[in-house]
Amino acid sequence: MAASIHLAEAGLRVSCIEAEPVDSDPVGESLDWSAPALLKALGLPMEYLLAQGIATYKRHVVLKLMNGSEQHYIPGEWLGKPPYNVDLQTLHVDRAQLNHALRAIFLAKGIRLVSDRVVHVETAGRSVKRVMTAQGERIVAKWYIDASGSNASLLPRIFDLPVYEYGPRKVAMWDYFTVPESIEGTTLHADPCPRYMEWVWQIPIHPNTISVGYVSPGEAVKEKRQRGLSVQEIFETQLQRFPALRGLVHDTAQDTPKQQARTTSFRCRVFARTAGPNWLVAGEAAAMVDPMTSNGVTAALRHAAEASELIIRYRNRKRIPRLPAAMYSQRMLSLARFFNSAIENVLYDSPVRNRIGPFKAGDVYTIPAWSMNLVYSRMRPRGLVATTLFRLLLATLRYSLCAFHWWCSRPQFSSQIATAT
């Protein structure tokens, strides 16, 4: 929808093919600090979203451990001053309502919404010639953007593009709860165990409604299912482990009939190439970034803006020139690789957490991750020089964190942990 709006505003005739026009359990509720400006560009400024009750303020992130200790991660005040002038607040959103507001803007632009599923893509060499839908419509266009999400990733699969994968396959289960009051921040409840980390998000999407979700490696959920536990039982057992969440399970026990937690599974991955002669890939179809980074919506909106920018700039040519197409791919790739690699090495995997403690590990992740997102938004790298410099910066940080992970994994540290536990 975001890409369609940008293209229609530039005067292009746009069709958007959407397999499920009615949202089924959309996620992506805690937004990064770079998201408000991207939403504003689509006609949804922060003040409007707050006034309409579509969003709540997100001022910070809280990491809360099982023993009740917690650490608050707040963007430094210096970021709010010149020359950065960053708005130090971002948003939590009710995704169903946000999609509804976006759809109203989308329809007002005269974009043709095709409620159908793409089932076949006809190609000629590295170009897309036409797409066919389940109901038999053939759609021919000069340019194509694939925003089909991480389960479909239509064009990367058709063109068999190389992919980088991060961490194990994970399962998320979540539900919504009514609470007397909520805090203006996203809370991550974590069990700082010496193994791979599992965590629970708590996001206030309205002042009295929180979204609570549990993320776990797929294998761990499979093992519990094989022991006969239902998804709801796994979800409730996990919430009961955290003192701050226990009351929620108690509340749901009074609800009759009991609603099952929503569930999805995903694998973090990034495609190495996301642009061709007449096509671009955007959002999770290009890169599935781990939910703990709160970066998926920002990335999708950013891809939509940059992909449309390329089409608008080269609309009178036969193809997107190779260099700008390669730079688009490189920017999407290096940002998503950085986020996925950093969160896996520093927080999910245990060596760094065990060595420096979960709160310091939170700093080691959030300081570079938040800064890189803001630098990207300010610098808006586009050409060869700016994109290369930015890629080098991201690669340096990524390799440094990998090296730190390796250093913390050395046998002497592992044995210290083993002795301590």
Please say which residue, 33 or 242, places its beta carbon nearer to ligand FAD.
Answer: 33
Q: How far is the CB of 343 from ligand FAD (least distance, A)?
A: 12
Element (H, E) at 184: none
- Minimum Å gap between C-beta 21 and ligand FAD is 8
Query: Which residue is at the shortest CB distance from ligand FAD?
Result: 283
User: CB-wise, 17 or 375, nearer to ligand FAD?
Assistant: 17
Smallest gap from Cβ 266 to ligand FAD, in A, equals 5
- In the complex with ligand FAD, the residue whose CB is nearer, 36 or 351, is 36
Neighbours of 40 (CB within 10 A): 14
Of the two residues 274 and 278, which places its CB atom closer to ligand FAD in the complex? 274
C-alpha distance from residue 22 to each of 100, 150, 172, 175, 209 (Å): 9, 18, 21, 19, 22
The nearer residue to ligand FAD, 285 or 325, going by C-beta atoms, is 285
CB of 376 to ligand FAD, least distance (A): 15
Tokens in use for 70?
Answer: 């917690």
The long-range contacts involving 119-124, CB below 8 angstroms and separated by at least 24 positions, are 121/154, 121/155, 121/158, 123/158, 123/159
- Dihedral angle sign, alpha carbons of residues 199, 219, 173, 364: positive
Judged by beta carbon, residue 283 or residue 351, the one nearer ligand FAD is 283
As measured in angstroms, the least distance from the Cβ of 114 to ligand FAD is 8
**Between 293 and 354, whose beta carbon lies closer to ligand FAD?**
293
| Minimum CB–partner distance for residue 36 and ligand FAD (Å) | 12
Q: CA 131 to CA 148: how far, in whole Å?
A: 13
**Alpha-helix residue ranges (DSSP H) falling in 41-165:** 46-51, 95-108, 149-152, 154-158
Question: Is 153:269 a contact under the CB 8 Å cutoff?
Answer: no
Least Cβ distance, residue 268 to ligand FAD (angstroms): 10
State the minimum distance, in angstroms, from the CB of residue 132 to ligand FAD: 10
In sequence order, which residues have a C-beta less than 8 Å from that of residue 417 and are 6 or more positions away? 194, 350, 354
CB nearer to ligand FAD: give 72 or 267. 267
Neighbours of 381 (CB within 10 A): 19
Where does this chain bind ligand FAD (CB under 6 A)?
17-20, 27-31, 117-118, 147-149, 152, 154, 172, 264, 266, 283-285, 291, 294-298, 300
Shortest CB 118 distance to ligand FAD, Å: 4
Q: Please tell me whether residue 364 adopts helix, strand or coil conformation.
A: helix
User: Which residue, chain included where needed, has tokens 């066919």?
Assistant: 132
Q: Which is nearer to ligand FAD, 264 or 414 (CB)?
A: 264
Collect all residues with Cβ–Cβ distance below 8 Å to 49 and sequence separation of at least 6. 39, 55, 91, 93, 98, 101
Contact 198, 214 (CB under 8 A): yes
CA-to-CA distance for 413 and 421, rounded, in angstroms? 12
Shortest approach of ligand FAD to residue 109 CB, angstroms? 18
Q: For the beta carbon of residue 345, count every other beta carbon within 10 angstroms.
A: 25
Rounded to a whole number of angstroms, the minimum distance from the CB of residue 173 to ligand FAD is 9
C-alpha closest to that of 159 among 289, 296, 285:
285
Buried-exposed string 355-374: b where 16+ CB fall within 10 A, e elsewhere:
bbebbebbebbbebbbbbbb
Residue with tokens 């490696």: 217
Q: Which is nearer to ligand FAD, 266 or 390 (CB)?
A: 266
Of 30 and 329, CB closest to ligand FAD: 30
